[in-house]
Amino acid sequence: AKWVYSFGAGAAEGSATMKNLLGGKGANLAEMSNLGLPVPPGFTITTEACTWYYDNGSTYPQELKEQVALALEAVGRETGRGFGDPDKPLLVSVRSGARVSMPGMMDTVLNLGLNDETVKALARASGDERFAYDSYRRFIQMYADVVMGLEHHVFEDVLEDYKDGNGHSLDTDITAEEWKSIITRYKAIVEEELERPFPQAPHEQLWGAIGAVFGSWNSARAITYRRLHEIPGDWGTAVNVQAMVFGNMGENSATGVAFTRNPSTGERALYGEFLVNAQGEDVVAGIRTPQDLTEAARLAAGSEAPSLEKLMPQAFGEFLGICERLEGHYRDMQDLEFTIERGKLWMLQTRSGKRTAKAALKIAVDMAAEGLITAEEAVMRVDPAALDQLLHPTIDPAAHRDVVGQGLPASPGAASGALVFSSEEAEEAKAAGRKVILARIETSPEDIHGMHAAEGILTTRGGMTSHAAVVARGMGKPCVSGAGMLRIDYRSGTMTVMGRTLQKGDIVTIDGSTGQILLGEVAMLQPELSGDFAALMEWADKVRRMKVRTNAETPNDARAARGFGAEGIGLCRTEHMFFEGERIVAVREMILSETEQGRRAALAKLLPMQRGDFVSLFEIMQGLPVTIRLLDPPLHEFLPHTDEEIAEVAEAMGVDPKRLRDRALMLQEFNPMLGHRGCRLLVSYPEIAEMQARAIFEAAVEAGRTTGAPVTPEIMVPLVGMKAELDLVRARIDAMAGEVAKESGTKIDYQVGTMIELPRAALRAAEIAESAEFFSFGTNDLTQTTFGISRDDAASFLGAYQQKGLIEQDPFVSLDREGVGELVQIAAERGRSSRPAIKLGICGEHGGDPASITFCEEVGLDYVSCSPFRVPIARLAAAQAAL
Ligand code: ADP
Ligand code: MG
Ligand code: MG
């Protein structure tokens, strides 16, 4: 079998397509060789050799030794040197390289092949004894550390002691003779600590390093990293052995790293750093301050140190040409490593560069405009989830951060404002024109108005799917949740953190993208939704099949969603409207009434308000589809709790508060999420459905007149498990449509459909579809009811499930394809079997999750619906799913 692939001198046995076999680094070294670029010759030992090594009790395949020896000879021929040759020694680097770059793997060993003899030859050949012995001591240090496992600091200690004792402050003050005595000391330490000498034989050094690379594949760090990133353990790593080139051979030598475009802004300009007379990782290690590559960058930074462009114009010119060539060849921004040895340029690595969301967007759009990639490819190049970062204000990276606390990054974006500790205070402050951050121990549905009024929300309890987190994401507001290090005292109106006490009114900033809590107002960068963003979205819209709607109840949300490109409302949760202002009293009145008459009286108060809500939504949506869900409150969310609240409702109803309290107690449920909610409420009290249907139809007539665009409302019945439930509610809706049509003299087009959010509904979808013109998958509840896990209580155990590897992802965040997904599929198929043209959509958190959107495309849903700020994410994800 072939275990070794050579590269160098304008040719290679491998290529960029062979990443699985040669690892990313090896495949690209081969590719650059094939392109005729100046790559120091070398060879790659395959990942298959690594797998073989592990399958066979940490031994090597028989042919490997010979193949390595032959490849080494070839490198020697090309460089005019020999491995271990005392006169013209070949020195190499040993570099690990898996398919994907992976921290936790063995660090690169440079200058391998040096020993007490070859170092003399290096000194002669370079005419620089100091350089040779400095290289040797670096090699001993590196090799003993990464291959022999001797801690770095023992060498550092020797070096520091030496410098102190000899009056040196810098490494560069040390002479060749001094390095020699330090090297003697280094070797002695290795023997003392490890009870074996530092290996002098180059072959022993080489095989030691190869074994260390293979061994590092199963280091604890690497295993942890693989588990976190779902990288299979049987991929293995490749080993690259490559002839050394020296960036530390004097003032006309250098080493550097570069990106072909700016990785943080995406700007099309070479970006990078270099150091004169330095080797390997000196640039990133921060030993000296690196210099800018280009004059433009140097001037922009106002730096004194000359640029590479100025210092070594010829090598720089060649490098610039190579950058352009590689970018064109790979059709992507490249991250490069290079070294200049006595004026001669050598390429040591290329790969697609990591970049910020902002840069990813700009680079994709620019490259499409340059004709380097197609618009479809540009659409595929941007991670939809990363768009989130671009849709919200962010803290200026240059701003000073006075961090006073840390919570979970529950909803992205940053906001500043005065601290308040109640929703009432938040509303008052907002009305007075002040910006506030609402800080609560946790939030409940009663805080919706306060959350609306606030710029951002901070809680000390609750996770990523807590009420605060979910609602804030829905509103597109920054939220930091579960900041357990904070103590909020409602009574004194203070918040304590790390010994500091903040008062109500103190200005704070929260960063929902990192979870940080900062003191004072911090400079922000505003999102840029035109330009590149708009261009990419346009391309995405051209290729996607599924429509993207939004979940919205308020005019603000609806308008924001239109601005983000929503094509209708997929879910209007009418119960959210019931918390607004004074309405809650009328709602409580209705729920607590003991008679139909009493309920109708309360509903009559709500009718005009509901109608007004719907008119404005229809007007904003201008004839786009609007799905309105009939009331679905878990009753307990509406019940009055405090004496004050009870007194308020009692007065409105003209009943005895004590009697009302009893009624409220009677309505308490053990399991509200599985209780008297959804269509069950409508079955008990059909007059609620009637009022809502009337409000919808009257609003449709009115909005149809004002906008001139006919409105076709889609009325959605929640929590249906049986066709009979839907039929009962539907009959009331149909009757009301007839009534309003007669009263208004306008014929109203409308559809009635249902949420599919119970397993029984999914299974009985064929017959339910006989009465439903559309299905909307309510996957939040469907996940709860399929798993039998309460979303509100899941936090206490789902974490352990994830840690122990029972589940990969929180099923409330990303749709569980296997279980919940199968029910969705069944419902889609069965629904279509009895009504082929049935409209299918999804609402709820999953509608904005890229992985779940891919699933929706596979099942062939007609649309996804998500919170306004996730609309662009959904547009892009739907496009990628369709490509
Ligand atoms: P990493 O994956 O951590 O970047 P590399 O294998 O790329 O590790 O190497 C680390 C450093 O050593 C890089 O700066 C690289 O350019 C340098 N280097 C690697 N091989 C050689 C070589 N043959 N000659 C000179 N420098 C090298
Ligand atoms: Mg490294
Ligand atoms: Mg590298």
Q: What is the pLDDT of residues 358-391, one digit of tens each?
A: 899 999 999 999 999 999 999 999 999 888 878 8
Which residue has 């938040």 as its token pair? Answer: 426
- Bind-site residues for substrate: 573, 629, 757, 778-781
The answer to whether the beta carbons of residues 691 and 610 sit under 8 Å apart is yes
CATH number at residue 493: 3.50.30.10
Type of residue numbered 664? A
Alpha-carbon distance of 644 to 640, in angstroms, equals 9
At 527, list the tokens. 């999102």
Q: Is 361 contained in some domain?
A: no
Ligand 1 contact, 256 CB (< 6 A): no
At 359, list the tokens. 């840069």
How many angstroms does the Cα of residue 371 sit away from the middle of ligand 3? 29
Q: Is 736 contained in some domain?
A: yes
Helix axis angle for 583-592 and 657-667, nearest 10°, is 80
Ligand 1 contact, 115 CB (< 6 A): no
Which residue has 């090598």 as its token pair? Answer: 315
pLDDT at 580 over 80: no
Interior CA angle at 227 toward 221 and 228, to 5°? 90
Query: Of the ligands numbered here, which is closest to the C-alpha atom of 279?
Result: 1
Q: Are residues 55 and 161 in the same domain?
A: yes
Q: Are residues 639 and 511 in the same domain?
A: no
Kindly provide the ipTM of the predicted complex, given to two decimals.
Answer: 0.97
Q: Are residues 550 and 454 in the same domain?
A: no
Atom 13, ligand 1: residue with shortest CA distance: 280
Ligand 1 contact, 627 CB (< 6 A): no
How many angstroms does the Cα of residue 108 sit away from the middle of ligand 2? 6
Collapsing DSSP to helix, strand or coil, 93 comes out as strand
pLDDT at 672 over 90: no
The answer to whether the beta carbons of residues 147 and 212 sit under 8 Å apart is yes
Minimal CA–CA distance to 209: which of 142, 280, 121? 142
Query: Of the ligands numbered here, which is closest to the C-alpha atom of 254?
Result: 1
At 673 the pLDDT is: 87
The answer to whether the beta carbons of residues 150 and 208 sit under 8 Å apart is no
Q: Which residues contact 192 (CB under 8 A, 6 or more apart)?
A: none
Q: What is the pLDDT of residues 550-572, one digit of tens each?
A: 999 989 899 999 999 999 999 99
In the 8-state DSSP scheme, what is residue 835? -
Alpha-carbon distance of 389 to 356, in angstroms, equals 9
User: Cα separations (Å) of 313 from 309, 405, 461?
Assistant: 5, 49, 59
Q: Are residues 288 and 319 in the same domain?
A: yes
Residue, of 771 and 469, whose pLDDT is higher: 771
Residue, of 226 and 857, whose pLDDT is higher: 857
Q: Are residues 171 and 239 in the same domain?
A: yes
Among 490, 525, 560, which residue terminates a domain?
525
Ligand 1 contact, 30 CB (< 6 A): no
Q: What is the pLDDT of residues 777-805, one digit of tens each?
A: 999 999 999 999 988 788 788 888 888 88
Containing H/E element for 737?
Answer: helix 723-744
CATH number at residue 604: 3.20.20.60
Minimal CA–CA distance to 272: which of 232, 322, 231? 322
Ligand 1 contact, 209 CB (< 6 A): no
The answer to whether the beta carbons of residues 859 and 825 sit under 8 Å apart is yes
Ligand 1 contact, 337 CB (< 6 A): yes
Q: What is the pLDDT of residues 750-765, one digit of tens each?
A: 999 999 999 999 999 9
Q: What is the pLDDT of residues 445-467, one digit of tens each?
A: 788 889 989 999 999 988 777 78
Q: Are residues 403 and 518 in the same domain?
A: yes
- First-to-last alpha carbon distance for the chain, in angstroms, is 39
CATH number at residue 140: 3.30.1490.20
Q: Is 538 contained in some domain?
A: no
Atom 9, ligand 1: residue with shortest CA distance: 108
- Bind-site residues for Mg(2+): 757, 781
- The closest-lying atom of ligand 1 relative to the alpha carbon of residue 240 is 6
pLDDT at 667 over 90: no
Counting ligand 1 atoms within 8 A of each CB, the residue from 28, 109, 337, 342 with the most, and so the one to mutate, is 337
At 809 the pLDDT is: 85
Ligand 1 contact, 109 CB (< 6 A): no
At 317, list the tokens. 């010119």
Q: Are residues 501 and 567 in the same domain?
A: no
At 280 the pLDDT is: 82
User: Cα separations (Å) of 596 from 377, 612, 688?
Assistant: 60, 24, 10
- The closest-lying atom of ligand 1 relative to the alpha carbon of residue 101 is 2
At 47 the pLDDT is: 97
Ligand 1 contact, 509 CB (< 6 A): no
Per DSSP, helices labelled H in 302-391 are 308-311, 313-330, 357-369, 375-381, 384-387
Residue 45's domain comprises: 4-243
How many angstroms does the Cα of residue 203 sit away from the middle of ligand 1? 20
Q: Is 367 contained in some domain?
A: no
At 286 the pLDDT is: 66
Counting ligand 1 atoms within 8 A of each CB, the residue from 348, 351, 354 with the most, and so the one to mutate, is 348
Active site residues: 467, 843
Which residue has 């004074």 as its token pair? Answer: 582
Q: Are residues 623 and 748 in the same domain?
A: yes
Q: Are residues 451 and 584 in the same domain?
A: no
pLDDT at 166 over 80: yes
At 640 the pLDDT is: 85
Of all residues in the chain, what percent are helix, strand and coil, respectively (each to 5)?
A: 50, 15, 35
In the chain, the number of structural domains is 4
Type of residue numbered 412? P
Range picked from 164-178, 595-609, 799-813 for highest mean pLDDT: 595-609
DSSP string for 434-466: --EEEEESS--GGGHHHHHHSSEEEESS--TTS
Per DSSP, helices labelled H in 790-849 are 795-803, 820-834
Query: Of the ligands numbered here, which is closest to the C-alpha atom of 26?
Result: 1
Q: Is 366 contained in some domain?
A: no
Average pLDDT over the chain reads: 93
- The most distant pair of C-alpha atoms in the chain lies apart, rounded to whole Å, by 107
In the 8-state DSSP scheme, what is residue 819? T
Ligand 1 contact, 40 CB (< 6 A): yes
Atom 12, ligand 1: residue with shortest CA distance: 280
Atom 14, ligand 1: residue with shortest CA distance: 280
Q: Is 637 contained in some domain?
A: yes
The answer to whether the beta carbons of residues 514 and 407 sit under 8 Å apart is no
Q: Are residues 225 and 262 in the same domain?
A: no
User: Cα separations (Å) of 560 from 250, 361, 713, 847?
Assistant: 60, 22, 20, 17
Q: What is the mean pLDDT of residues 68-75?
A: 97
- Bind-site residues: 573, 629, 757, 778-781
Residue, of 638 and 824, whose pLDDT is higher: 824
Cα dihedral 125/128/131/133 (nearest 10): 80
Helix axis angle for 357-369 and 531-543, nearest 10°, is 70
Q: What is the pLDDT of residues 594-637, one digit of tens each?
A: 899 999 999 999 999 999 999 999 999 999 999 999 999 877 77
Q: Are residues 238 and 332 in the same domain?
A: no
Q: Percent of the chain having pLDDT more than 90? A: 74
The answer to whether the beta carbons of residues 145 and 191 sit under 8 Å apart is no
Collapsing DSSP to helix, strand or coil, 367 comes out as helix
Alpha-carbon distance of 405 to 867, in angstroms, equals 28
Q: What is the mean pLDDT of residues 643-658?
A: 86
At 726 the pLDDT is: 98
Atom 20, ligand 1: residue with shortest CA distance: 93
Alpha-carbon distance of 846 to 856, in angstroms, equals 10
Q: Is 369 contained in some domain?
A: no
Query: Of the ligands numbered here, which is closest to the C-alpha atom of 335?
Result: 3
Q: Is 479 contained in some domain?
A: yes
The answer to whether the beta carbons of residues 273 and 291 sit under 8 Å apart is yes
Ligand 1 contact, 339 CB (< 6 A): yes
Q: Are residues 597 and 730 in the same domain?
A: yes
What letters, b where the CB count within 10 A reaches 16 and e where it falls short, cover 654-670?
ebebeebbebbeebeee
At 266, list the tokens. 């995406």
How many angstroms does the Cα of residue 329 sit away from the middle of ligand 3? 20
At 287 the pLDDT is: 67
Q: Report CA torsion sign: 509, 515, 516, 519.
A: positive
Q: Which residues contact 223 (CB under 8 A, 6 or more apart)?
A: 104, 233
- The closest-lying atom of ligand 1 relative to the alpha carbon of residue 245 is 24
Among 525, 553, 581, which residue terminates a domain?
525
Q: What does pTM read for this prediction? A: 0.84
Among 190, 224, 243, which residue terminates a domain?
243
Alpha-carbon distance of 859 to 830, in angstroms, equals 12
- CA 203 to chain centroid, in Å, comes to 45
